[in-house]
Amino acid sequence: MHIAVAGNIGSGKSTLTKLLAKHYGWEPRFEAVEHNPYLEDYYRDIHRWSFNMEVYFLKERFRDLITIAQADHTIIQDRTIYEGVYVFMENNRDMGNLSERDYETYMELFEQMMTVVKVPDLMIYLRASVPHLVSNIQKRGRDYEQSIQLEYLQNLNRRYDDFIKNKYPGRVITIEKDNLDFLNIPKDLSGIIDKIDATLFGLF
């Protein structure tokens, strides 16, 4: 199976991916952040580096999808190719960070890729408010994330909600994250696991 964890920057995707991988014995797969050659430049000058970074992420996520499709075991993925397109790319376009020419080229490439892959068996969407996201971003202390604007996070949140409700064709569990601490409170993690079991295996 292919399980995906979706959510805005600072929503807890990587943490939940690790915890669920450990619980179920799934293989975790994380997006390339630390070794992304464009990310720091992007946050310094979003307009200049948007197309470069989005194409890099598209390439990496498509490669992951091919690997996942060929696997004989369950893989849980931190962020998907679909979010990259319908949340981040669309947001950059509407902010004026991409030309129509670049956008059309990107979308044609994405549509070609989608002809050879399928959606995850389950997507887990971590929905969080902007104050919650900001708190988590500050706690983890990545230098290149500290300059992220509140408006940018707000725009991404709106796009995530629209993506989940109106654009994503697969099966989704939505988790309201603000009042959960699944890293430190076992019952919070157990509640998520119960929802996954009920959805995937018909338990409870």
CA–CA separation, 119 and 175 (whole Å): 19
State the residue range of the domain holding 77: 2-201
Query: Do residues 11 and 128 make contact, with C-beta atoms less than 8 angstroms apart?
Result: yes
Q: 99 a known binding residue?
A: no
| pLDDT of 194 above 90 | yes
Cβ-in-10-Å burial (0-12, 13-18, 19+) of 106 comes to buried
Please state the domain count of the chain.
1
| pLDDT of 20 above 70 | yes
More confident residue, 140 or 187: 187
Q: Tell me if residue 94 is catalytic.
A: no
The 10s digit of each residue's pLDDT in 115-161 is 999 999 999 999 999 999 988 888 776 766 666 778 889 999 999 99
pLDDT value at residue 40:
84
Q: 68 a known binding residue?
A: no
**Side-chain half-sphere of 172: how many Cα atoms within 13 Å?**
20
Q: Which of 41, 45, 64, 78 is catalytic?
A: 78
| pLDDT of 91 above 70 | yes
Average pLDDT over residues 163-167: 94
Confidence label for 44 from pLDDT (cuts 50, 70 and 90): confident
Q: Percent of the chain beyond pLDDT 90?
A: 69
The 10s digit of each residue's pLDDT in 47-88 is 899 899 889 989 988 998 999 999 999 999 999 999 989 998
Q: 190 a known binding residue?
A: no
CATH number of the domain at 105, please. Answer: 3.40.50.300
pLDDT value at residue 32:
63
Q: 62 a known binding residue?
A: no
